[in-house]
Each structure stands twice: as structure tokens, then as C-alpha cells.
Amino acid sequence: MSETASAAETFGFQTEAKQLLHLMIHSLYSNREIFLRELISNASDAIDKLRFEGLGKPDLIGAESDYWVRISFDADAGTLTVADNGIGMTRDEVIANLGTIAKSGTAEFVAKLTGDQKKDAALIGQFGVGFYSAFIVADEVEVRTRKAGDSADAGTVWRSKGEADFTVASMAIESRGTEIVLHLKESAKEFAEDFRLRNIVRKYSDHIGVPVQLKSDDAWSTVNEAKALWTRGRNDISDDEYRGFYKHVSHDFDDPLTWSHNRVEGKLEYTSLLYVPKHAPFDLWNRDRPRGVKLYVQRVFIMDDAEQFLPLYLRFVKGVVDSNDLPLNVSREILQEDDRVATIRAALTKRVLDLLAKLAASDPDRYHEFWDEFGEVLKEGPAEDFANRESIAKLLRFASTHDGNMAQRTSLADYVGRMKEGQNKIYYLCADGFDTAKGSPQLEMFRKRGIEVLLMYDRIDDWLMSGLREFDGKPLHDVMRGELELPGEDEADSEEPAASEGLCARIKSVLGDTVEDVRASSRLVESPACLVIGENEMGVQMRRIMTAAGQHVPDSKPTLEVNLGHPLLARMDAETDDGRFTELSTLLFEQAQLADGRALKDPAAHVQRVNALLVKLLAVAE
């Protein structure tokens, strides 16, 4: 490469890039060697991109069709160079790619960093460290690059000390590709050493599909296996190699939780290597965030983030699919309509669900780690993927009245195993929080009869249950809905209730159109009243979410159920003063709304009503 650079132009790093750079240098210090993994990973990506572009434009590749990543060092000068003959970058690309961070949500991400090195290191890992990790070991970095297909004088050199700014100048460069020169910090000179470099390459980059060569005694020798990992046999691959490859495809710093590697032969031939991460990415809930697997066709890289191969509710899965049947010029549009893709997608979906089921059976603790990170995403499954409803249902976990612990994770199968004799339904309750659910008056009769109820309080639960009507042949029943017939006898059932049936009609005439009906309850033990909704009505939680989203929600009136055995109801039954009866009926209704976590139409009036009663009560007490 010739060294006649033009006048350099100075640019400032994007604010987020600057902050991230600073934090990265400080928080990743204890794991400095990963900088090499990141640079080799980028070089390998650059070669993948050139191979792909070259499919349609062979001129881009020309005579130089052997690909390599080359590492060399000069111990005396304290420099380390990583070069590739991949796609290279134009001047504009250099400025955009090495001066900004294009990932959406970067600003929010940076705002979350605390300055606490340990915590930040974990966070940055999830974000993906990338090119900037060079500055962990270098106090100056120089990038010389020329885009494939451009003329020799169209090269660019980028330089930075990793502080506020970088410079860019034009430079004649004879061959395509990118060369990154690190001027090692005094404390990082150890990296300019043959044995050390060899070890790091073997440790992190063995699985890279191109040869990574190291220069010693003026000769290049290949250090890594240089065979794309997924093309090797399962038995030839160590767990460490699988983990290393995960970091390459996922840009995740952490190890994966588990993975599945399969080769399928027959009518369709493809290989898949799918990983479940340990941690949710910071932008899991960002709908526009790229997702999906890396797609290869006949070992040629085609695209990142091919989202057509997995359903949305498995968007956390990372990995590679390599198909032998798809055309090399396949586009996203074609993928969307291709039957082969649909077949592969169905098979991969099953694989992931099987992988999770296996994990749940063999290592419940690790499965619970998964559940805590991704359970809410998986809950989108039953409504999205009808065909796999039953397998997804087996993977779901809930809190339950069984031991009333929030972290407790009961599966539907556990529940079924504990069902009472004569019980043929799975009961659940949806509320806006764990405490509301656990304290709900709706649960009283269930407790008394020892019948377990699943407690649901995630925003998505109402939606989940709308897609999941039964499990193992047993209907799932919302305890808030419809009339209940619970198995088991209760001595109270045969006792004459304290208040008369006629009381219900009296209360209904006070509440009028605000309620659908007032009826005697079989749900309650200690509480005087509760609200129930119709079998097919929208749940309270769904109603709240839709209202908050500004959606029109159809009107629906709850039914007020009253506990005729309760002293308050007996007292009301005996009440002859119409004014007081109206007050008590209204209070009863308001209390039931509050216990459900509903908002009162007129909270101030409720407070006045309660206060008026308290004043009277205190007067009597004195």
C-alpha cells in the first residue's frame, strides 16, 4: 500500500459512540484479548459480503479469489495489523461505519450504563462491542481500506486516538480490502507476540470459515481450522467452539444458554445451528429491531437477519441456516413466498421448541433462567402459532396459589398433576399485579376447597389465554368469568344463608344499569362481594391495555356477586331505611371494583361515603 495520503479531514465521533468508546475501554479491560475476536469477526463478515456481491459481479473478485485474514506484528514498533481481502469500504462508509453507531436505541442504551465497571461490562457485552474494542489495547488505530471494484486511488485512511475525533484522508491503495493497524498501548505490548496471538486466534476464531494467517519468519501460516463451524460434524466440535461461534454470529459477549445443531438430508437439504442466548438484548421489545438468523446458501453468506425462518415469538433465537436448495440470488421478497422456506421454518420452530422442552426437563434451573428472560416473548406463541399451541403450552410457567410465591414457576402439567378428584378445569386468574391476583376475593372458595388457581399478572396474559383455550384436554377457565361449579362439598352449602335471595333484586334496583345482574355467589367465603364477567367478554387487563392504547373498547357490564352468608349482607337485608340501603349497596359495588384493580368512576364520592360511615361509627363507639 502506498503512503501518499492527501490532506486529512477531521470528524467528531457521534456522542453515543464517544461515550461507548470511553466506557468500553475502561470496563472491558479485564478481558482485553477479545479485541482480536472482534476484528477477525469483522474481517470475516467483509469477506462474506464480497463473496455474496461477487455472485452477480464476478469482476469484483477478479483473480484474487483466495480469501484470507492476515495478522502480523512488529514487536519493536509495538504494532499489530489485521488485514483482510474482503469487500472494503468507501470513504463515506468509513465515516458512517467507524464514526457512528447505527444500532437503533443506542442513546437509550448508553443512558443505562452506570459507570460501574462490572455491570457495564455485562451490558456492553449484550450490545456487542465491535470495532471500537480495538481501543482497549491501542492508543491509536489506523484503518486503510479500499472498496472492491474501486480504482487504486480511491483508498481511504482513517485514524483516531479513540478520544473525541478521527481523521479521514484519501490514499492510493493497490488492492481491495481493509487493513487495521493498532499502535499498542505500553501495557498491551504483550499482544505483539507470536505464541500469544496464535492462542487467541485458536480460542476465539477457530470456527471462522476463512483462513486466519499469522506471519512469522516472513511466511504466512494458517492458524485456525478455517472451515465454517456448522459444516463440521457435531462430534468434532467442542462446546467451546460452539460458544465461540455464537459470539461471532450474535455479537453477544456472553455464552449462549443452549444450542441445537442439525443437518437435514432428503427432499430439502439444509443445516441449522440455532442458539438460545442467556440474556435478552436491551432492545428485545423494539419492534423494528433486526431479528432472525444468518442465511447461507451452499456455504455462501447471503444475508444477516433473515427473519423468515422463525416466528416472531422466537425472535430471541440466533444462529445460522445453510440451505443447499435455495437459489444464490435469493432475496427477502422471494424468501417470504418460498415454500421451501416455509418448510424449513416449520422444522426450525419445532427444533427450538424441542430444545426448550429438553432443557426444561433436564435442567429446570437453567430453564427458569430462560423463562425469566424470554417467557413474556414465548407467551405470544399460542396466539401466533396455532399449530404448535400444545408444545408452547408445555413450556409456559406461572405463579400459582399452590405455594403463593411470585417466583414460583408452575407448569400446566404440574397443575394437572395436582388437580382434585372431580375437577375437570384448569383455573386461572388475571390481574394487574401479583398482589392483586393473590389477594383477590375470587380465590376464597378455591382456597377453602383446596383447588389450585394459576395467578397471571403479565400484561400479555389475557392475550395469551385468548389463544390458549385448553391444555391436555382440560379447558382453561378464568375464575372471574361466568358461573362457577367447583368440585368438592362444603358444609356451608347446605346451611341456610344469613340473607335472603330477595336481597339481590333489591341491590340490583339500586345499582340499576351499572351492573349486568346481582346474584348470590358460590365464590366467596370472607368477602361480601366480587365482580364477575361474561364467558366471552374482554378481560379486565386487556380492557386496560386497549384503553391505554386509545382503542375503542366495547361496553360491558360486570355482574355483582354477593356473599349471602356474610354479616354485612345480613345487616343490609334487615335495613329498612332506603337512603342507607342505597349507600351500602353502592359501597359494596365500589369495594368489589377496587378489589379487582378497576378504577372507580367517582373516587372522591367513594371516599366521602367511607368517611361518613367512619364518623358515624366513631360516634357510636364513643
Which spans of this chain sit near ligand ADP (rule: CB under 6 A)?
A: 38, 42-43, 46, 84, 86-89, 97-98, 128, 130-131, 178, 251
Nearest approach in angstroms of CB 84 to ligand ADP is 5
Would you say 122 or 600 has its CB closer to ligand ADP?
122
Nearest approach in angstroms of CB 51 to ligand ADP is 13
Cα dist from 51 to 46, 86, 271, whole Å: 9, 8, 20
Nearest approach in angstroms of CB 9 to ligand ADP is 19
Element (H, E) at 341: helix 339-362
DSSP 82-110: EEE-S----HHHHHHHTTS--STTHHHHH
Nearest approach in angstroms of CB 41 to Mg ion is 5
Q: Which of 384, 29, 407 is nearest to 188 (CA)?
A: 29
Regarding 125 and contact with Mg ion (CB under 5 A), the answer is no
Q: Which of 243, 42, 14, 208 is nearest to 134 (CA)?
A: 42
State the cell numbers at 396.
Answer: 409456559
Query: Of these partners, ligand ADP, Mg ion, none, which one is at the site of residue 87 (CB under 5 to 8 Å by kind)?
Result: ligand ADP
SS3 letters for 368-434? HHHHHHHHHHHCCHHHHCHHHHHHHHHHCCEEECCCCCCCCCECHHHHHHCCCCCCCCEEEEECCCH
Would you say 97 or 559 has its CB closer to ligand ADP?
97
Would you say 175 or 514 has its CB closer to ligand ADP?
175
Regarding 42 and contact with Mg ion (CB under 5 A), the answer is yes
Quick check: 57 and 158 in contact, CB under 8 A? no
Query: Of these partners, Mg ion, ligand ADP, none, which one is at the site of residue 597 (CB under 5 to 8 Å by kind)?
Result: none
Would you say 210 or 545 has its CB closer to ligand ADP?
210
Quick check: 482 and 535 in contact, CB under 8 A? yes
Query: Of these partners, Mg ion, ligand ADP, none, which one is at the site of residue 208 (CB under 5 to 8 Å by kind)?
Result: none
Which is it for the CA torsion 75, 76, 79, 82, positive or negative?
A: negative
Stretch that binds Mg ion, among 9-17, 129-137, 600-608, 609-617 (CB under 5 A): 129-137
Nearest approach in angstroms of CB 178 to ligand ADP is 4
How far apart (Å, rounded) are the C-alpha atoms in residues 143 and 141?
A: 7
Stretch that binds Mg ion, among 127-135, 142-150, 221-229, 364-372 (CB under 5 A): 127-135
Stretch that binds Mg ion, among 40-48, 252-260, 311-319, 491-499 (CB under 5 A): 40-48
Would you say 81 or 324 has its CB closer to ligand ADP?
81
How far apart (Å, rounded) are the C-alpha atoms in residues 499 and 497?
A: 6
Query: Of these partners, ligand ADP, Mg ion, none, which one is at the site of residue 72 (CB under 5 to 8 Å by kind)?
Result: none
Residue 114, CA atoms < 13 Å, CB-side half-sphere: 8
Would you say 102 or 407 has its CB closer to Mg ion?
102
How far apart (Å, rounded) are the C-alpha atoms in residues 550 and 517?
A: 28
State the cell numbers at 389.
Answer: 399451541
Query: Of these partners, ligand ADP, Mg ion, none, which one is at the site of residue 97 (CB under 5 to 8 Å by kind)?
Result: ligand ADP
Nearest approach in angstroms of CB 261 to ligand ADP is 23
Element (H, E) at 272: strand 270-277
Cα dist from 38 to 34, 369, 397, whole Å: 6, 27, 37
Nearest approach in angstroms of CB 146 to ligand ADP is 10
Residues in contact with 48: Cβ distance below 8 Å, sequence separation at least 6, in sequence order? 86, 209, 301
Would you say 178 or 308 has its CB closer to ligand ADP?
178
Would you say 130 or 441 has its CB closer to Mg ion?
130
How far apart (Å, rounded) are the C-alpha atoms in residues 48 and 337?
A: 25
How far apart (Å, rounded) are the C-alpha atoms in residues 272 and 294?
A: 10
Would you say 42 or 126 has its CB closer to Mg ion?
42
Q: Which of 99, 130, 256, 597 binds Mg ion (CB under 5 A)?
A: 130
Query: Of these partners, ligand ADP, Mg ion, none, which one is at the site of residue 43 (CB under 5 to 8 Å by kind)?
Result: ligand ADP
Stretch that binds Mg ion, among 96-104, 128-136, 356-364, 518-526 (CB under 5 A): 128-136
Residues that bind Mg ion (CB under 5 A): 42, 130
